[in-house]
Amino acid sequence: MTESHWIEISEKALIHNYQLVKGRAGANCGVLAVVKANAYGLGMEACAKIFEAQGAAMLGVTSFEEASALRKAGLALPILIFGPILAEQAPLAAVMDLTVTVTSPGALDRILEGIAGAEASPLNSLPPLQVHLKIETGMGRFGLWPSEAVPAAQTIAAHPGLKLMGVYTHFATASVSKGPYFQQQRIRFQEALQALSEAGFKDLVRHCANSAALLACRDCCLDMVRIGTLLYGQKPASDSGAMPALQDPWKFQAKVLEIRELPANHGVGYGATYVTKGPTRVAVLPAGYSEGVQMEPVQHPAGFTAGLKATLKLWLRCFKAESQACHVFFEGQAAPVIGKVGMQLTMVDVTHLPQVQVGSLARVPLRRTAADSGIPRIYTD
């Protein structure tokens, strides 16, 4: 290959993971394959086509722009947009046969405004815009309060330009399926479903299980499950016990650009935060934080214990504790990253790996969702 770095995506692994998910969900439960955020970094259009071929019932994205890109790529599956849309996007969503989410009374008003504006033109004849209701049960982002579900459904049912198709919620703590917060969310959602049924809305597609809930709560499968993390070979935190035998479809590869022979007491990288202890062989790789190397989210610790752990982790890193070092791998052999990771370059100590030369191939851990979309993605198998 002429590229100095690329991402290999295994189609076989994606198919294997999809079939595991489908088997756990059951024959009568559809799978909504979540391909938001560029399919968690693996490539949205390509992954969507793989899941479509495997029989996915629906695709899930966060934004109108993502859904539009899938339609332009030729995807024919139903596509659910999780986030609220703008008024001007509503008629376009109808034309593209997208399914939008009503996340609040205000969001519904914007959808109605957009549909009304388009229908005011005598040249426009829109197909009905398909809609799912999102119920707020404890996530705190988007969603109708349970008491707002029936009025919203009635407004949608009364409008010829809208068609109510489904209803869902999102669990905040599905990894702790026996916990009171998770159970409280389940109860709130069931109450909303019951109210909708009693109001005459009996044939809606019901879905609430994400990856963690699929593992922890089989009763949460309902009519469809929304799965992202598991499809991409990553295991969510779960108290469900045994985890499925997932396959990792992701491999970021980079070729060594340069080998440097540094003497003892020589600084490495910005700030000279690392100083060699003896003669050191350094391999320079063509990837840095702009590609996603060593990118981690910043989070506010949830409580004293979590804060203590985060502080200890940072303290160990500051003092170059070996157990905290990031490593890359040459044919399975680990080599530690030394010095600060640069924007597009990373230095690695290969003193103990004399076989590593310019052009040698390294497998580099990468935060997938931070991986630059411009990195070539090669689909194997």
Q: Is residue 133 within 8 Å of residue 151, measured between CB atoms?
A: no
Cα angle: 193, vertex 197, 199; to 5 degrees: 120
The Cα 367–Cα 357 span in angstroms is 26
Half-sphere exposure of 170 (CA within 13 A, CB side): 15
Q: Identify whether 313 is a catalytic site residue.
A: no
The Cα 375–Cα 6 span in angstroms is 6
The Cα 378–Cα 276 span in angstroms is 36
Q: Which of 36, 49, 134, 255 is catalytic?
A: 36
Bridge partners of 166, per DSSP, are: 132, 205
Q: Identify whether 232 is a catalytic site residue.
A: no
Compute the Cα dihedral for 250, 255, 256, 257 and give only its sign.
Answer: negative
Q: Which of 12, 72, 235, 270 is catalytic?
A: 270
- DSSP per-residue string spanning 5-51: EEEEEEHHHHHHHHHHHHHHH-TTSEEEEE-HHHHHTT-HHHHHHHH
Catalytic (active-site) positions: 36, 270
